[in-house]
């Protein structure tokens, strides 16, 4: 069966450390993968996109990697701040014409 898995348990890290979130998938061959941030009571907000032929993408303190052999994407936030606390969702292109399928999300909590 097709699955997109993110760590369902919350990730707690200390301010200033690097947070690493994982997105694993099976039985998909996505042309690209996106990461979104979602705050409580709000809609998801787009952060980064990475294509299948790209190994790594960076944007300010964010870095995404995409390993199509391992079927895994890693999302890193360096120098984490309490304001980074949110749920982070990965989304895969899973069909024709840009269909996106979302993972379950991982909640990140950054403490002082």
Binding footprint of another protein on the chain (CB under 8 A): 4, 6, 8, 31-32, 34, 36, 41-46, 49, 51, 89, 91, 93, 95, 97-105
Reading the block at residue 89, the tokens are 């969702």
Distance CA(82)–CA(60), nearest Å, equals 16
Q: Which is nearer to another protein, 21 or 89 (CB)?
A: 89
Helix ranges (H only) for the chain are none
Q: Which is nearer to another protein, 44 or 84 (CB)?
A: 44
Q: Which is nearer to another protein, 84 or 88 (CB)?
A: 88
Distance CA(31)–CA(24), nearest Å, equals 15
């Amino acid at each position: 069966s097709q699955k997109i898995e993110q760590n369902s348990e919350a990730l707690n890290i200390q301010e200033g450390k690097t947070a690493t979130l994982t997105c694993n998938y099976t039985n998909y061959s996505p042309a690209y993968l996106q990461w979104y941030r979602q705050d409580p009571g709000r809609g998801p907000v787009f952060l980064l996109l990475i294509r299948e032929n790209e190994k790594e993408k960076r944007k300010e303190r964010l870095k995404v990697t995409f390993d199509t052999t391992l079927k895994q994407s890693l999302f890193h936030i360096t120098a984490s701040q309490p304001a980074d606390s949110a749920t982070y969702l990965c989304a895969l292109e899973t069909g024709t014409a840009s269909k996106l399928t979302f993972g379950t999300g991982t909640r990140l909590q950054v403490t002082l």
